Structure 1
Amino acid sequence: MHLPLIRIATAAAAALAMSVPAAVAAPANQATIDIDDQNMTANGFAAGSGWTRVTINADRPVDFGIVALKPGKDTGGFANAIGKLSPDRTESWGDWVAGGSTRPGAPYVVALDMDPAWYSVIVYERKKQYQVGGFSVFDRPGGFEEPASTSTIGLRDFRFDTPRTLDAGGTLKVVNQGRQIHELVLARVKGKPAAAVKLAKQGKFGKIRFAGQPSQAVGLVSGGTTNVVTPELAKGRYLLVCAYGDARSRNKPHATLGMAQAITVR
């Protein structure tokens, strides 16, 4: 199992394998990030700020995160520091605005409301994390209106604010309404969903009976961020979980603090 260092603040986060969300059905402004070896190219961001449909491609399986640096932060200094920064310490430099996994033939696609800033793209692989490049979003209108979504999921400290049912193939608006970093993982489960919720809240992820590969709909994101994604969800019973944990949660997975919930996809 390929595991990004930046997400392994607890053993629980490592227990969940992740798949890749499908494309977001949203109009352009279109932008792409192509990751090749230890570098990247970015196209389409020059139009300016606002809602942007971003497609992340890679020539190999890649786990990634995107950080919007705070004004005045040195981009070169951040690139040198990121290899030793945990996600919570990274927030002294900027906000995690998106994250996920991509592989050849299966890009990660997300719609983001992008403010003017320098954005750094971080890759985690081979037991290390590093910046592969970045891009600027300029202080002028360039995006489109917020894309339509079928459901909204709020990530709070420490619970989910979500409807009990989701539409298969629906588009999710995922808003981190808390002050801490969170992620959104959806896992189809066998048997009674309440049993899976109980195990997740106990941190016993390895004992959960999964009915398929869990999907990391949204990777680590800071408070105040919004991601619009369309996960590949078949009909069934699902577990929503945030398995991330760091010093702020005393290294406990957020699921053990309440971020575990059962839903139905139909």
Structure 2
Amino acid sequence: MDVENHGDSTDEQMGSKKKFWFSSDESRWLFKYVRLNDCGELGEDWAECLVHVVARLLDLPSACVCLAKEGGRRGVAIKRVHGAEEQLVHGNELLAEGVEGYDKAEARNQLYTVENIHRSLQGFPAPEPYSCWSAFDLFAGYLMMDALVAACDRHHENWGLIQDGSGRRWLAPTFDHGNALGFAVRMEDVTRLLKDEAELVKWVRKGRNRYFRARPVEVAAEAFRLIAQKPREYLEGRLHDLDTGDVAVATRGMPEEVLSEERARLAIKIIETNRRRLSDAFSDG
């Protein structure tokens, strides 16, 4: 998708990445530029798209995304998760409503815990087709996916509830997945991790979400201990049945200059390694 930045007055202010809103086919989309480091462009665009594929394979509602460019610069376009007459109530607002002393302006908050997220989502449902689940039942699936894809950015503004005009609220689809799947690993380290399974295991174990004290697999396991049995069994089943061959097919649909074969192979290995780690953690729980 090629997009144009018309200097939209509703440019997105949350987060640290440069981004802007635009309209296409009567829908609102957020364009996010990939960031640069001394080695060139990071892989936030392909990671965002691959995690969307993983979410779909896990049957998790996820914001529609596609690779995009603006002025020749790489990025990703993400479709708004709510309708024109609805609004997104971000997690930090929900936590401030439900947890005494929670400062919604403090990004790294000591009160940002799985238990407090569970508390803040009490009484709200998941969306269709999971409306018989609680919002937190499905959110636990989001945390499982985060651990699976080595995501490190589930902060309190990249999840929330959708609210309609009557005030009814339900869990929003998952979104904002660019910091995942080794998107910023240097090429020499990609080669090393592909060659040495022990090094790869060590690398994924070191990974952490910057906003939780526990590491991603531990965060997911804690969340699963708080959800109902049927959602837990269903999510564990989806994890078990996930075919990484389907993810590999998606990688081959991306241009080589965006996602190299080596980085694609590493992304698959990350998923396979973390699936084993999650299965072990859920069995222990």
Q: Same fold (TM over 0.5)?
A: no
In which range does the TM-score fall when normalised by the shorter chain? under 0.3
Question: Higher relative contact order by CA 8 Å / sep ≥ 6: 1 or 2?
Answer: 1
TM-score by length of 2: 0.26
Higher percent of residues as helix: 2
**Greater strand share, 1 or 2?**
1
